[in-house]
Amino acid sequence: MLKVKNLHSYYGGIHALKSVSLELSQGEIVTLIGANGAGKSTTLMSICGIVPPRYGEIFFMGQPIHHMSPDKIFALGIVQVPEGRRIFADLTVTENLDMGAYLRNDKAGIRKDMEYIFNLFPRLAERRRQLGGTLSGGEQQMLAISRGLMSRPKLLLLDEPSLGLAPVLVQLIFETIQKINQENKTTIFLVEQNANMSLRIAHRGYVMESGVIALEDTAANLLKSEKVKAAYLGL
Amino acid sequence: MKTDWKPLMQRVSSEMIKSIVVSLWFVFLTFPLMVMKIRPLDQTIEWRWMNLVYVGVGAFFLSFVWRYLMARKERGSEKDEGDSWQKRIGMKIRSDKRISVSGLIGVGIFVLIFPFLFSSYQTSIMITALMYVMLGLGLNIVVGLAGLLDLGYVAFYAVGAYFYALMNHHFGIGFWAALPFAGGLAAVFGILLGFPVLRLKGDYLAIVTLGFGEIIRLILENWNELSYGPSGIAGISRPGFFGFEFTLQQHTVYLFYIMVALVALTTIVVSRLRNSRIGRAWIALREDEVACQAMGIDKTRTKLTAFALGATWAGFVGCIFAAKTTFINPASFTFMESAMILSIVVLGGMGSIVGVMVGALVLILLPEYLRAFSEYRMLAFGASMVIIMVFRPQGIISGIRQRYEFRKQPQQEVSP
């Protein structure tokens, strides 16, 4: 579904990605783990065009997308839930969700999807008229993911959804990610520092170290791998 | 009920001491100006010691009142904001259709009979104020909604004015024919400015737009063949009305009604825009660009529409300005104008339509009615701006968005 070939990206003057290659198949959860500054977020930003890649190719369902602008890539169905949630603080929960459906025109479908989301996260339904900025961290993360879902993405890119959340909420968020994958057959690319949790729900995983892919395997194998255990799982 | 007076007294005495320090400082600062008066003719110095006392006592009281108000403001902000009287009145007006409709009708009738109630001079001032209302509403799109700080807004105003002036001068084109094109041309210039500044934010954007405003003014000042340089263009036609011949007074009244109609149009369009999809995209873009891009919003197009739609209104007003004064030159389009329009938006309340209207009326009418204070006029004007910003940093009327408010249920129904 998504194929990244020899991707090089620069973040300011820093050579952040040095020949990264990845592949995602339809319906998978694939996780990308690694330390701070390894280039995980840059990989996501390059895929969705916000940080355009300098060299390399990205194909989405056979179509080259590495020269497209972010809004065109979004229109193809690749949706990013950015790191640090980045919800619109001055808009209400419902309006934030509306922003997610910015490119859609089918009002009935939007309403149906909103109901789906309020079922997925009942907390958001309770707070639908509240301003985004007044939500708690966990609720904001729920909103950020929901906002991403509002456009019915084919591929959902999640950047550190567990960042700064209480363990109970992390659990809930990861369960929901799994549920979204199973119920809607949405392909999910999950960038995480919480290697343990993300490898548990993912099918496959990539390990990134200073701009290159260091390891690639099924999630189960990575969980068992001595190297991953020592470096990322703290075992 | 028993009040503990001791901390209050302590507080007051400490405030007193601070105010005394302030007054001493003022005495020191103003000493050479207020006390010493040099008579160069007989080479003596007159010492006006009484002035020293006046300054000291005056500064003491002013500082004390200032401190008291500031303390009250701080205490006020600690309280639940939902209880403030301004908000309650606002809510009441919005929730009660009767009040808002009758208020609107009242204002409408007042505006319609305004030229018959007041002199032609007053009407003329009001036309200027209404022009600034429109400019403020236009800039409000760029600054208030899209969050792009534009310090060169006057450039679009100049484009509109010069477009009409030149068209009228060379081809004898009338006001009504030029008006839509003045807006259109300003929009084109908005896009021209927009393209190079797409990547810029905040301070950098402000500096570039400031430069753009100056470029337009300097071109107008120096390109003699096109704009007739600093001497400007005179004899521009006033707006026509199916070939009627108006006296000067009738023209003022006519222009007043044109302005009222245009302000009404602007208000309707801007408020519709604000609640539209593109309006929401502007607000979202102001808040977070990355999140916007992640939502598939075309950043380039959204920003350019903000610049273009903001500039359009300035183009309209420029055209009206040329028709009103019948003479324009580059001196009318200095940075001071941009600063004035921006002050209207900020003081009135960013993003709020009513706020911008009130801001324009206050900032344009205040200096006129302060003429009684003659040379202290601008001082009083500046002071009132400072006071508004200190006590209402969000503007006179802050932007109202629909908000969910969490209210505590009243505990008991028993009367107090």
Q: What is the pLDDT of residues B83-94, one digit of tens each?
A: 556 666 666 666
CA–CA distance, B367 with B355 (Å, rounded to integer): 19
Tell me whether residue B384 is in a domain. Answer: yes
pLDDT tens digits for range B104-135: 888 888 888 888 888 888 899 999 999 999 99
B8 part of contact set with chain A, CB < 8 Å: no
Least confident piece of the model among A107-121, B77-91, B291-305? B77-91
Is the domain of B27 the same as that of B161? no
Say yes or no to pLDDT of B205 above 80: yes
Say yes or no to pLDDT of B409 above 70: no
C-beta of residue A139 within 8 angstroms of C-beta of residue A85: no
The pLDDT value recorded for residue B86 is 62
Taking contacts as CB-CB distances below 8 angstroms, the residues of chain A near B293 are: 48-50, 70-71, 74
B283/A91 Cβ within 8 A: yes
By percentage, how much of chain A surpasses pLDDT 90?
69
Name the minimum distance, in Å, from the CA of A231 to any CA of chain B.
31
pLDDT tens digits for range B283-298: 888 888 888 888 888 9
Tell me whether residue B82 is in a domain. Answer: no
How much is the mean pLDDT over chain A? Answer: 91
Is the domain of B63 the same as that of B116? no
pLDDT tens digits for range B61-76: 888 888 888 877 777 6
**Average pLDDT of B371-399?**
76
Say yes or no to pLDDT of B156 above 70: yes
CA–CA distance, B292 with B286 (Å, rounded to integer): 9
C-beta of residue B189 within 8 angstroms of C-beta of residue B161: no
Say yes or no to pLDDT of B213 above 90: yes
Say yes or no to pLDDT of A173 above 60: yes
Tell me whether residue B207 is in a domain. Answer: yes
B297/A130 Cβ within 8 A: no
The pLDDT value recorded for residue B415 is 40
* Range 121-140 of A in CB contact (< 8 A) with B: 127, 129-131
Tell me whether residue B160 is in a domain. Answer: yes
Is the domain of B182 the same as that of B286? yes
pLDDT tens digits for range A204-217: 999 999 899 999 99
Say yes or no to pLDDT of B406 above 70: no
Is the domain of B120 the same as that of B229? yes
B414 part of contact set with chain A, CB < 8 Å: no
The pLDDT value recorded for residue B171 is 92
Dihedrals phi, psi of B44, to nearest 5 degrees: -125, 165
Tell me whether residue B121 is in a domain. Answer: yes
CA–CA distance, B330 with B232 (Å, rounded to integer): 7
CA dihedral B347, B351, B354, B358 (to 10 degrees): 10
Query: Which residue of B292, B299, B401 is in closest CB contact with A90?
Result: B401
**Average pLDDT of B344-360?**
88
Tell me whether residue B55 is in a domain. Answer: yes
Is the domain of B55 the same as that of B114? no
B280 part of contact set with chain A, CB < 8 Å: yes
Say yes or no to pLDDT of B1 above 80: no
Examine the predicted complex and report whether its ipTM is higher than 0.90: no
Say yes or no to pLDDT of A6 above 90: yes
B401 part of contact set with chain A, CB < 8 Å: yes
Q: Supply the pTM of this predicted model.
A: 0.80
How much is the mean pLDDT over chain B? Answer: 84
Query: Which residue of A71, A86, A88 is in closest CB contact with B298?
Result: A71
* Choice between B266 and B241, residue whose per-residue pLDDT is larger: B266
Is the domain of B28 the same as that of B166? no
With CA atoms as reference, the chain B residue closest to A127 would be: B404
Is the domain of B53 the same as that of B167? no
Domain span at residue B291 reads 100-391
Say yes or no to pLDDT of B2 above 70: no
* Choice between B86 and B145, residue whose per-residue pLDDT is larger: B145
Is the domain of B22 the same as that of B140? no
Say yes or no to pLDDT of B242 above 80: no
Domains delineated in chain A: 2-233 (3.40.50.300)
- Choose the final residue of a domain: B72, B89, B117: B72
**Average pLDDT of A111-120?**
93
Is the domain of B317 the same as that of B372? yes
Query: Which residue of A80, A89, A92 is in closest CB contact with B294?
Result: A80
Say yes or no to pLDDT of A159 above 70: yes
Least confident piece of the model among A14-18, A203-207, B196-200, B391-395? B391-395
CA–CA distance, B11 with A106 (Å, rounded to integer): 63
Tell me whether residue B164 is in a domain. Answer: yes
Query: Which residue of B299, B401, B404 is in closest CB contact with A130?
Result: B404
The pLDDT value recorded for residue B217 is 93
Tell me whether residue B263 is in a domain. Answer: yes
Query: Which residue of B277, B291, B300 is in closest CB contact with A82?
Result: B291
* Range 61-80 of A in CB contact (< 8 A) with B: 69-71, 74-75, 79-80
**Average pLDDT of B225-234?**
88
Is the domain of B142 the same as that of B249? yes
Counted across chains A and B, CB pairs separated by less than 8 A come out at 78
Is the domain of B135 the same as that of B219? yes
Residue A20, strand partner residues? A7
Q: Which residues contact B88 (CB under 8 A, 6 or more apart)?
A: none
Is the domain of B357 the same as that of B236? yes
The pLDDT value recorded for residue B416 is 39
Say yes or no to pLDDT of B410 above 50: no
**H-state helical runs in B244-334:** 248-274, 277-287, 289-294, 299-325
Q: Among A59, A124, A136, A56, which residue's Cα sits nearest to residue A93? A: A124
Chain B interface, best mutation among A45, A86, A128, by max B CB count within 10 A: A86
Please count the structural domains in chain B. Answer: 2
